[in-house]
Structure 1
Amino acid sequence: MTTTAVSSRFFPEVDTSVLLRFLGESPQHPEFAAWLDAHGIETRPHLAEQDPSFAEDGDLAYENARASEIDEVERHSVCLIYEGSDNFERLFERAPATGAFVLKQVAFYAPGVQGYRGYAGQLPRGLRFDLTRPQVQERLGMPTASRVIHGLAADLYLDAHWAINVSYLDGGQVGIVHVRPLHRFDRRMLGLAASDVDADAVDLQQLISLLGVSTYDETLEGLLEPLGWQSADFDMADCDEVPNLIPRHGIALYYRNAAEYPQLQKREFIRDGSVFAGFRVNRRGDMLSDGYEGRLPFDIQFHDTPEQVIARVGRAADAQVVDLDTAALKWKLPGCILHVMYSLIDWQVYRVTCFAPFLEDELFARRY
């Protein structure tokens, strides 16, 4: 995360409508670049290869590059949040003409948040920092979701143009307003776009039926081979999560050593004794993936809310985990353990994982 510091030089206040026009635009675009310069915003997002530390410390360069995508502008009490152009196009189905990054989201801060003086311009949709949650709901209607994100109560509003997250301070008034364009999953949630199923995607029901078989089971290998998977390429006895299929197919594979699980002791597993223990599918844009676009278990959709997921499964989850900006639901089901991770920010499903039943003790003892 970078911070644009305050200087004694005069810069004009931000015009909200102009700033929001640049959502989806590259900071290298001449008009946007000129606007940033005119408002004293010098920081630009950069790639790891462009970081000064890249030659000596690639990991540090990567961390610095990731941090550069979030620019806290103290002078104006706003935060500019960028996304790599390739991933922005995956989610928003459009890319800028130039530049490796796109402005994806803007956050406006109330006085005192981050120690700043507070955003001085007009907030979108007639919002004000002195409004309470009931007053916001009176103006904008009932939110799509109400939850706690990073310790703050927050409401999500979706309309035909924007996704707006309103976070509230302990005193009950508006503290932060995040604004971004609608992405493909928002539009599906709102019924503005259809959900197309890729008929050629690997059949997850078949994968579920193979949980617990040998890594080298012919049916399993045959099912995964069209994706470019070859177990012979890896030391499977030393594998846990295999991420190689994530970028193109949105699939991660899980393997375990059968000898470590008492439930499997009476069975024989060839070669190194490894066993197929599970798989995860990511939605498009998650983990920089093109995403899995086949049919999910229980006909779960990646734009589903957690309430909709529960309704599709048909009963409450056996366990729930809530973190700062994500949460997960877990079910013990015949044939598999179902794990659905969703975003508290988007209030939509990000990942669906199916594990073999022999991992039950391990999975329900962990917080993830």
Structure 2
Amino acid sequence: MTSANRPSLGVGLIGYAFMGAAHSQAWRTAPHFFDLPLRPELTALAGRNAAAVTDAAQRLGWKSTETDWRRVIERDDVGLVDVCTPGDTHAEIAIAALEAGKHVLCEKPLANTVAEAEAMADAAAKAAAQGVRSMVGFTYRRVPAIGLARKLVSDGRIGDIRHVRAQYLQDWIADPAAPMSWRLEKDKAGSGALGDIGAHIVDLTQHITGQTLTGVSGLMETFVKERPLPTETGKLGGVGGAETGAVTVDDAALFLGRFSGGALASFEATRFALGRKNAIRIEVNGSAGSLAFDFEDMNVLEFFDGGEPAESAGFRRILVTEPMHPYVGAWWPAGHGLGYEHGFTHQVVDLVTAIAAGEDPTPSFADGLQVQRVLDAVERSAANNSAFTEI
């Protein structure tokens, strides 16, 4: 069967900014490089500003637009709803879509609170019983080097896991003059660095190890507590009486953790690490070896084999671009690296494949709920002077 003759999957995307653009590219690209069982169609793009969403649809390749997300869910030509909005709307949109029989892809973190995430996971479980699928968008799982790391751990190549250390370092708001945005408002974002980027390393470490975090001890800090607000002209207020807004989320979060298999872990998530733009760093030490990954060199996985003689032992640099590596065979010849956007494409591939097979994709809303519980425990621990908090 040719691609044109395969059943179509109408996609409705809610939100068209940074994540909306990344998801749009993935929906456009996936069927051109991967042999998908369903043919994704970029059916409808939704946003509140009619002019802006129309412009975005033309740039990103969407057939039509809506200014109310509810209209997307009502459309018969939409079979999947992709939620790329701030966290405060995830639960309402995703639950409504699932109850209407639409498959759902929802950006991370799943929700702003544990209660919202529980309601979403419950709705997803009920929908799954009716053949309706859902997935949360932890796209870094789809980096080929991360896939290889998970396989090496699963194959026992590093033995029993003893230590996990993870960092996600950015610097985009280190300047106190950087403007307010929804990501700095707790009622919209849920949390700051903790939820925005800390959620990724929580999910990645649980994914790689195949274990869950069972308890944490955390610290959180907001370094810049007031920021300039944009004016009606789009210019920012300055010092000397200019209007500012209160930052109500964390700028940085650090926490210790314990995994279900007994391993000890450390986590750091900050948007104040000057010079670090999008540095995800993960190292896993086991009884038989170690793994290390740095997203700023994302096509590489470092592997230490503890069974080698000391004379020649050392971390081995594995270039994860061979056809047998996860996802890589559909792309370029060996040595021709992939980039940030490819994780979103691989996410589409896995989701569409699972929907066609009648299987529940991962990470599920239940997985997203587990991450949400970790984030909540970190916040509660930090509020209680870093007391160890069970999840």
Q: Which TM-score band (shorter chain)?
A: under 0.3
Structure number with greater Rg is 1
> Which of the two has greater helix per residue?
2
- Higher relative CO (Cα under 8 Å, sequence separation at least 6) belongs to 2
TM-score by length of 2: 0.25
